[in-house]
Structure 1
């Protein structure tokens, strides 16, 4: 009887990782839920059937955009343990700014900074004010490690670093207003984050966006990097993800 039960349990475990044709299926692992507004936010990573990471992102559940404090939000989303070492990313940081930030007339509207950090959390939090360590902020990555068309934005931000933006984006080229854009970050000579920056209004508009990532020509740290990013309404949730991960050396 004991042998029969053991066989049955092993069979059940095998079948939960297979489809009806006994073929392995893709798997998604989720991180810890954190309270945001009247809802929740949580990170996740998705793997293919052969255990290759294919996408990484976070989900905002129903109500997460409601009752956000005017003083702003700074929320760390730890990645699920299954993502550690399998992707180059360390954690996700959501910053909500009710009145936006500089430059005036460009990013001074309610929006989320959605940082996907390659940099370890403790190292990131140790980044000081620009005035304290200008040499480290001004130590920019060598040519090729930031998308070639990107430009540096002024100075730097504590616990973040230097921000880089696409001058051809609507809000910087004068062709339109800021709704969503993709920012890169660096500190002390290294690429440190990728950041979809998205207005509150855009997130509330039932978004259905997928765009090709502007990519550096080189990566200091080998790993699975995204070819696309996506911002979508999925049922009652909003899902923001870095998609089509590919191994880059």
Structure 2
């Protein structure tokens, strides 16, 4: 049985190579023939793989820091969503100031059918209360509800039993829910692994309101973004069941493009659920 945690309550009540190649010898390195054959075979195999054609469709750009951020959805040639995320320039991490910021990013019309309705791209310069969350970071909420529904969410704290929880059959395993519902956000669900960890660079959070899950939320420190040392992908713990029909995600990615000097944070491994 999951238990409540309290560390997130105070949280938002207060709201919120260069490669140098030198040749030092004219001698040719001896490469075993069998190794050469293996490498050649692998190259041929790679070249023969079909490349999936994917088109990106962007929402309107909004200024943040010295850069911009905007939403995007990637669609394959069959009209199926491949990913949905936020693209922001490296300069967006500069000159952010000392106040919390939040951008609501609308999606391109091609995002129809996705469970995500819109994305909030938030910056917390001082972090927020919690065992390891008191550091500069970004909150990226992928909301499953409309902007109007989100804005209508009031502040609430459980008085004894929590009566607005989603049905227990839908809960993600090894997650704990917060006793407070944060205004214009909802109730946050944190993984037990993160709750009991003494470090934080990136983590994944669920949100709920009015007895339904309502958002995905990757939370990433500014320091982790600047280090640009990301894993290939990060697994999303699935819900026990999905109430609404739509495309959901099994993982998310954090990426940096050295040429374009921009980041992407996206939900990936999309799959369709009919809903309950």
Question: Which string of whole-angstrom CA distances, capped at 9 and with x for unpartnered residues, describes residues 71-92 of structure 1?
Answer: 1101111111111x22111100
Shift of 1:39: 0.4
Question: Does the Cα contact within 8 Å between 2:124 and 2:137 map onto a contact in 1?
Answer: yes
1:239 pairs with 261, 264, 267, which one? 264
2:109 maps to 1:81: yes
Q: Secondary structure at the match of 1:70?
A: coil
**Is the CA contact (8 Å cut-off) linking 2:154 and 2:181 kept in structure 1?**
no
Mean Cα deviation higher: 199-208 or 176-185: 199-208
Pair 1:96 & 2:123 matched? yes
1:67 aligns with 2:100: no
State the SS of the aligned residue for 2:119.
Answer: strand
Asked if 1:216 corresponds to 2:251, the answer is no
Partners in 2 of 1:59 and 1:134 — Cα distance?
40
Instruction: Name the SS of the counterpart of 2:168 in structure 1.
Output: coil
- Aligned residues between the structures: 221
What displacement does 1:207 show? Answer: 3.5
**1:58 to 2:86 alignment:** yes
Name the CA distance, whole Å, in 2 between partners of 1:154 and 1:134: 9
Provide the rounded CA distance (Å) in 1 between the counterparts of 2:201 and 2:163: 28
Q: 1:154 aligns with which of 173, 179, 195?
A: 179
What CA distance in whole angstroms lies between the structure 1 residues aligned with 2:56 and 2:213? 27
Tell which structure's C-alpha radius of gyration is larger: 2
| 1:110 correspondence with 2:110 | no
1:51–1:143: structure 2 CA closer, same or farther, 3 Å change rule?
A: same
Provide the rounded CA distance (Å) in 2 between the counterparts of 1:138 and 1:69.
39
Give distance in 2, aligned partners of 1:156 and 1:24.
42
**Unaligned stretches of 5+ residues in structure 1:** 1-22
Aligned position for 2:154 = 128
The answer to whether the 8 A contact 2:86-2:265 is kept is yes
Residues 112 and 197, structure 1, Cα contact 8 Å, conserved in 2: yes
CA shift at 1:138, angstroms?
4.2
Tell me if the contact between 1:54 and 1:246 (Cα under 8 Å) persists in the aligned partners. no
1:12 is matched with none
CA contact (8 A) 1:125 1:159 kept: yes
Deviations 1:211-249 (A, max 9, x none): 111010211111111111011112211110000111122
Tell me, in whole angstroms, the C-alpha distance in 1 between the residues paired with 2:159 and 2:83: 35
Residue by residue over 1:157-191, the C-alpha shift from the partner in whole angstroms, topping out at 9 and shown as x without a partner, is: 1000100010112xx223x4111100000001010
Query: Does the 8 Å contact 2:155/2:180 carry over to 1?
Result: no
What displacement does 1:148 show?
1.9
**Aligned 8 A contact 1:207 1:231 in 2:** no
Distance 1:77 1:187 in 2: 21
Any unmatched runs of 5+ in structure 2?
A: 1-50
Q: TM-score, normalised by structure 2?
A: 0.76
User: Closer, same or farther in 2 for the Cα pair 1:24/1:232, shift >3 Å?
Assistant: closer
Tell whether the 8 Å contact from 2:136 to 2:221 is kept in structure 1 after alignment.
yes
Give the SS at the match of 2:148. Answer: helix
